[in-house]
Amino acid sequence: MSENEAPSENLVPPAVILCEPQLGENIGMVARAMANFGLKDLRLVNPRDGWPSERARSAASRADHVIDAARVFDTVEEALADLQLVFATTARIRDMPKPVVGPDEAASETVARGMQGVNTGYMFGRERWGLNNDEVALANKIVTLPVDPTYASLNIAQAVLVCAYEWRRVATAGRLPFTLDDYGAEPAKKEDVVRFFEHLEEALDKRGFFRPVEKRPTTIRRVRNIFQKASLTENEVRTLRGIIASFDKYGIKEDKE
């Protein structure tokens, strides 16, 4: 990825805190989601099956740098100790007066505070029942996703993926790692395009395409307009002329029964 698509070097990325994750495979998929969007700080609170985990490493699909740097804590308080802004992710209404935001708003605040050097984080709960109220109480705000309320349950890696995606989208101002502009092919010169048109029209004349003859100018304009919309490159013009030349050289074979 080029520097143009990377977040600012001054931006402190958020940590991802998993409270008592149960399966190594889920931790690995979380690490993979984090790596997809440039997050590296993975914190585990009492993983049920212990740490390190080969199952986690296998599921991480080569996101080894996240797995290797993961830290294990005995309590949530220890995992959050150095953080100054924490979002608790939950899909359930909590009986506490705490601001609730969507992942886009959380990302905007996380990026803005991260640019100021503030340590931020997203806290995720257990696979079966999420975060408890005491854990949510430690967060500054709740972040919830706009899911269908009749089926609000997300896999933990899916929830991390959405939050990480939104964070990177804001951090990079939505820039993509590559676009059609990066294709690098030279646009065809108009004189080459005109020669292609003339070559094509000559071949079509030989095959009696322009009928009735009086409509030939109108048909030519329509055919030319079709190719103009394609914004042809030099290589594409050469390829098209090669196709026409092959018709001239070898003719068109008719299927015989």
- DSSP category for residue 126: B
Asked if residue 193 lies in contact with residue 234, where contact means CB atoms within 8 angstroms, the answer is: no
Asked if residue 123 lies in contact with residue 141, where contact means CB atoms within 8 angstroms, the answer is: no
Walk me through the domains of the chain, giving residue ranges and CATH numbers.
Answer: 3-171 (3.40.1280.10), 185-250 (1.10.8.590)
The phi and psi torsions of 66 (rounded to 5 degrees) equal: -75, -45
Compare 158 and 152 and report the one with higher pLDDT: 158
Contacts of 222 (CB under 8 A, 6+ apart): none
- DSSP category for residue 81: T
Give the span between the Cα atoms of 168 and 156, in whole angstroms: 18
Q: Please list the alpha-helical segments (H only) found in 116-215.
A: 133-137, 156-171, 190-206
Return the pLDDT at 253: 56
Span of 15-29, 44-58, 70-84, 238-252 with lowest mean pLDDT: 238-252
Average pLDDT, the chain: 90
Return the pLDDT at 5: 59
How many CB atoms sit inside 10 A of residue 118's CB?
15
What is the amino acid identity at position 64? D
Instruction: pLDDT band for 177, please (50, 70, 90 cuts).
Output: confident
Considering only CA atoms, which of 172, 133, 150, 146 is closest in space to residue 36?
Answer: 172
Return the pLDDT at 8: 77
Instruction: pLDDT band for 147, please (50, 70, 90 cuts).
Output: confident
Structure-token pair, residue 41: 């700080």
Following CA atoms 167, 160, 114, 87 in sequence, which dihedral angle do they give, to the nearest 10 degrees?
A: 120
Bridge partners (DSSP) of residue 89 are 143
Return the pLDDT at 151: 86
Return the pLDDT at 226: 95
Query: What percentage of the chain reaches a pLDDT higher than 70?
Result: 92
**pLDDT higher than threshold 50 for residue 2:** no
Return the pLDDT at 34: 97
**pLDDT higher than threshold 80 for residue 6:** no
Give the span between the Cα atoms of 174 and 104, in whole angstroms: 12
Asked if residue 87 lies in contact with residue 131, where contact means CB atoms within 8 angstroms, the answer is: no
Largest separation between any pair of C-alpha atoms in the chain: 86
